[in-house]
Chains A and B, each alone.
Chain A
Amino acid sequence: MQPQMTRVSMDALKDLPTPVRRRVDAADVWVPEGYEVEPVVAGLSFPCALCFDEDGTLFFAEGGSTWPTRPYMTPRIWRMAPGRAPEVFAVEDLGGPRGMAVRGGYLYVSLKGGYNMRVTRHDLRTRERIVLVDGIPSGGWHEPGGPIFGPHDGMMYFGQGSVGLQGVVVPEGFTVDLAKHPHAHDVPGQDVTLTGNTVWARDPRLPFPYYAETGPFQPFGTPVTRGQVVKGELKCNSAVWRSRPDGSELELLAWGIRNPFGLAFGEDGHLYATDNDFEEKGERSIGEDPDRIWRIKNARVPPGEVKEPEWFGYPDLCGDGLPVWHDLHRPIRGKAAEPFLENPPPWAGPAVFLFPPHTALGKLTFSRSDAFGFRGHAFVCQFGTYAPLNTNREAALGRGFQVVRCDIAAGAGEPFLRNRAPGPASGTPGSGGIERPVDCAFSPDGKSLYVLDFGNNTANRSYVVAYAHTGVIWRVTRR
């Protein structure tokens, strides 16, 4: 059955057939004085990415199998040319699109994949699709980042988050991708020597929940020993790379980034990556780890000349640089963490920006336009907490669910787009506001910020569910 994209009135968005999102109404959304917000597209299923071509064409992608992985919905990439209705440009594979960029007549797409993350390229004219990069270890908890293109070198930059939720594969992972990829595991970007510490957990794969021991950088149920060396690989994860636009000359810039989902170059020419905090539950529980933005300094090194990848702390350091077993990160639920790395590389921090734990950073973009204002500032999607699932601290319950404007140089940030009532729209009966901002991009004229709203993704104490047909694209314009 072909998808039906229909132009409707704004009033039609206030009476939708989807019970978990009956209304989409900009009146319930707050933006600063002098700006206005409006919905552009509604009814998307698990959208994860949007981007613009230079001619003003908007591309946006539905994610396929996302957070959690069920239900899968078709991972469509839509193209919306100026003045025209959206059309399906391409359909991707099961673990669908997570990031997109347009350059030189091609659309570049990062895909979560199965056991391997991929970067594909679609010819905008012929729609021919080729795989540029493959074999990046995926299949677990975290996501690809990018692709984006370096303004200084024309190279393609992209990332892939960790498989492990907590620096190691734990049973929680089997509620997401690990149920499909039971052999997935993290791979380091440099040789590491292990302490021999492991976690013990019940094994969800077996007829009975027998006890199983798992070490870092191993599939679930595989222990490690003290002094064991795990070889670093170019195709690791929790990492950021660059390559030529055709995928060749792959170069590892950084690893140890738990979830580098958002990548963007600032006007200062630096590469920035968002990253998500550890969770406070389970067998390696870590409390009060801040969300953060990293500056990846190796992106300024000429291509091919990176001597050592930078290491940003995963699996042993929090966003503030403190060890995961530090008293400040002692959990109030779950088993406290122990060190995994005997010989950690030098830490590449500090972060350029720290956020409260469990704001759940999505992607970010930078204003390059005086017409929109706040030139040089980062606009950061805060997807919003999964508390009380990933922490049982009451303070975390309402965090995120907004786009924050950050002056990184000044270390200052404040909400730019949020609901008038705190939290997601689904937390306020009758609200037609935003649910979970996941990506944002400026139109080529720099006058509008488009914000992609993933839709209803509700967590409770035990699990999280995602509802299809509830994703929205919002547009913020300066009056």
Chain B
Amino acid sequence: MDGIEAADPEGPGPAAIEGPYLLNLHGETWDAHLDRAARWLAHVITAQTAFRNALEIAVPKVEEPNIRQFLSEILDRARRHEEVAHRLPRTIGREAAEGTRGLAGVVMDVARRALDAVEGLAGGARGNWKDLHHLLMLNLDAMGAFAIAEQLGLALAHHELRDLAFDVEAEKSTDQLILKELMLEMAAVSILYGERV
């Protein structure tokens, strides 16, 4: 109304109000939102389980003691993050869908195949260095899943969901830096000399 002439006291009034309006917050609509969010939260469990599984396979094969320690610490966190992933659906009053753990192996295999396809079976690298690259991809996938859970928390105005997801996302972001460093540090000796990690 700025920039027009003075108001006419007899002019039209605002919209008649017979009780306020509510957008997307009444029962059925909101329940549908929560159901859709819960399906994503189930995927968070799957992605995190796949990462934890891959770590459990990779860690015993690592020979370099420092790297083994770094990965063991990441595995400890991964187990804790997986527990958080299972809590996420419950924060919005839902239970995780059945079968999420079973899908984790599929996720692992898909990631490994994608990696092999991209890298031409790791471009000549030998040994278990490839595991680091695989872990990098799986953690990125799980980290993204938690980040999206955070966005759902914000969209649903649900601070508990948002906070839980964000805290994990932040720790996984740090783990991603560690994994990337290890992968890059060891790349040259793996590719040039065929050294194991």
Contact = CB atoms under 8 A, between A and B. Distances in A.
B7 A444 contact: yes
B17 interface: yes
Interface in B157-185: 157-160, 162, 180
A343 to B, nearest CB: 35
Contact of A82 (B15, B23, B160): B15
A54 B159 contact: no
Interface stretch (A8-16, A118-126, A400-408, A411-419): A8-16
B12 interface: yes
Contact of B154 (A58, A157, A366, A468): A468
B13 interface: yes
Contacts of A456: 157
A4 B29 contact: yes
B13 A101 contact: no
B2 interface: yes
Nearest to A157: B3
A21 B3 CA distance: 35
A24 B157 CA distance: 14
A91 interface: no
A447 interface: yes
B6 interface: yes
Given A442-B7, A456-B157, 19 more contacts: A8-B19, A10-B20, A13-B22, A18-B156, A19-B157, A40-B20, A41-B21, A51-B1, A80-B15, A82-B15, A150-B3, A265-B2, A267-B6, A368-B1, A443-B1, A445-B10, A446-B6, A446-B7, A468-B156
A365 interface: yes
A348 interface: no
A77 to B, nearest CB: 13
A8 B21 contact: yes
B21 A368 contact: no
Contacts of A187: none
Contacts of A44: 23
A139 interface: no
B131 to A, nearest CB: 21
A447 B13 CA distance: 8
A465 interface: yes
Nearest to B10: A445
A106 interface: no
A131 interface: no
A465 B19 CA distance: 30
Give the secondary structure class of B's interface: loop
A94 B1 CA distance: 26
From A19, A24, A84, A443, residue with most partner B Cβ within 10 Å: A19
Contacts, number: 192
B151 interface: yes
A4 B24 contact: yes
B4 interface: yes
Interface of B: 1-27, 29-30, 32, 151-152, 154-160, 162, 180
A73 B160 CA distance: 20
16 contacts: A4-B23, A20-B159, A24-B20, A56-B15, A70-B154, A81-B15, A149-B3, A366-B2, A444-B8, A446-B8, A446-B11, A447-B13, A448-B14, A467-B154, A468-B154, A475-B14
Contact of A443 (B6, B13, B157): B13
Contacts of B26: 4, 6, 8, 12
Nearest to B91: A19
A148 B30 CA distance: 36
Given A369-B9, A446-B9, A467-B159, A6 B15 contact: no
Contact of B21 (A6, A17, A467): A6
Nearest to B23: A43
Contacts of B14: 52, 56, 58, 82, 443-445, 447-448, 450, 475
A43 B22 contact: yes
A10 B32 CA distance: 23
A371 interface: yes
Interface residues of A, number: 77
A55 B156 CA distance: 35
A441 to B, nearest CB: 6
A467 B23 contact: no
B22 A42 contact: yes
A317 interface: no
Interface string A192-223: 00000000000000010000000000000000
A70 B159 CA distance: 15
Contacts of A19: 157-160
Contacts of A305: none
B177 to A, nearest CB: 9
A86 B12 CA distance: 17
Contact of B17 (A3, A38, A369, A467): A38
Nearest to B27: A17
B2 A264 contact: yes
A5 interface: yes
B4 A149 contact: yes
A265 B4 CA distance: 9
A89 B116 CA distance: 50
Contact of B7 (A42, A263, A368): A368
A365 B2 contact: yes
Contacts of B180: 207
A148 B4 CA distance: 9
A42 B155 contact: no
A225 to B, nearest CB: 35
A12 B162 CA distance: 25
A465 B152 CA distance: 12
A130 B39 CA distance: 39
A15 B160 CA distance: 18
B116 to A, nearest CB: 24
A19 B154 CA distance: 11
A151 B5 contact: yes
Contacts of A54: 4, 11-12
Interface string A435-468: 0000001111111101000001000000001111
Give the top 6 A-B pairs by smallest Cβ distance, nearest first: A446-B7, A43-B23, A18-B157, A56-B12, A443-B14, A264-B2
Contacts of A149: 2-4
Given A18-B156, A19-B160, A71-B151, A3 B24 contact: yes
